[in-house]
Amino acid sequence: MIRRAFFTSFLNRQITRTIFSSKIINNNVEETENLTHFGFETVKASEKADKVHKVFENVAESYDLMNDAMSAGIHRVWKDVFLERFYPTQGTKLLDVAGGTGDIAFRYINYIKKLVKANPDNNVQSSVTIYDINQHMLNVGMKRAERLGFQSNEALDVDWVCGDAEKLPFDDNQFTAYTIAFGIRNVTNIDNVLREAYRVLQPGGRFMCLEFSHIEDSNLLQWQAFHHKNIYDQYSFQVIPPMGQILASQWEPYQYLVESIRRFPKQQDFKKMIRAAGFRAVDYENLTFGVCAIHSGYKV
């Protein structure tokens, strides 16, 4: 009986999502009518922030557990590669947006600590501001930081700020680096986020984004691309939401997760958006066939 109810619920949700997906309208029309997407659902732009906020409020405590379960731990490798490509130096002033539970910030802190140990006579101070729209996510991150001993000291200043990525409460030209990992697809207006990133970066500052993306045919033979996409789609829609229900007692947030990935711009399109915001030397690197990608650009 329980098994039948579970799969009946799953089927009903999939039917509902299929109906929503059939009603998706062109992005340009959505912007004209002040509409946007929330997964496969079309909603008023004014409603999306609250919907996304509720999603992450509900999953804050289980966020790290689900990341490990959904990706079999590969998300940790992606984030390690992201930090390697970032290659921070002592004196870096980092703004980590959508930093929530601290995954990128903590890697950055460890990196800076190694640099300080290797160069004890270098007295320049580095900093990281972890910024997130959801206080629940920040609370989880601050608890982790306290447990790990990641507090401000003479070599590194650590700050936690709650706010909107589309309206940063910081001065122009304040940071030398801006990172955002698995967060930009959740905002209402990506262009606003990119413009704000450009504004708060110093000339020469670097923008870096790690985000779920799209498997590109150019990476594989056509039949291989189709095969990988088919497996990836089946896993995304048939495994991740039920896994969320089992491990976190949350289905809808993880249904939204896989749908939001499909609605995010493809790599080349996002590259054009970053360049349109003013960044130069814009490029991207696919990870795991394009399941996610690292995007980078510089303010000149």
Annotated binding site for S-adenosyl-L-methionine: 101, 132, 164-165
Coil/strand/helix, residue 154: coil
Query: Residue 200 has what DSSP assignment?
Result: H
Cα 143–chain centre separation: 21
Residue given tokens 């992005």 in the structure block: 27
Longest dimension (CA), the chain: 68
Half-sphere exposure of 234 (CA within 13 A, CB side): 6
Annotated binding-site residue numbers: 101, 132, 164-165
Residue 291 and residue 158: Cα distance in Å, rounded? 31
CB 279 within 8 A of CB 299: yes
User: Among residues 222, 241, 279, which one has the least CA distance to residue 10?
Assistant: 241
* φ, ψ (nearest 5 deg) of residue 120: -65, -20
CB 109 within 8 A of CB 158: yes
| CA distances in angstroms from 83 to 28, 46, 180, 183, 246, listed in the order given | 34, 34, 12, 16, 32
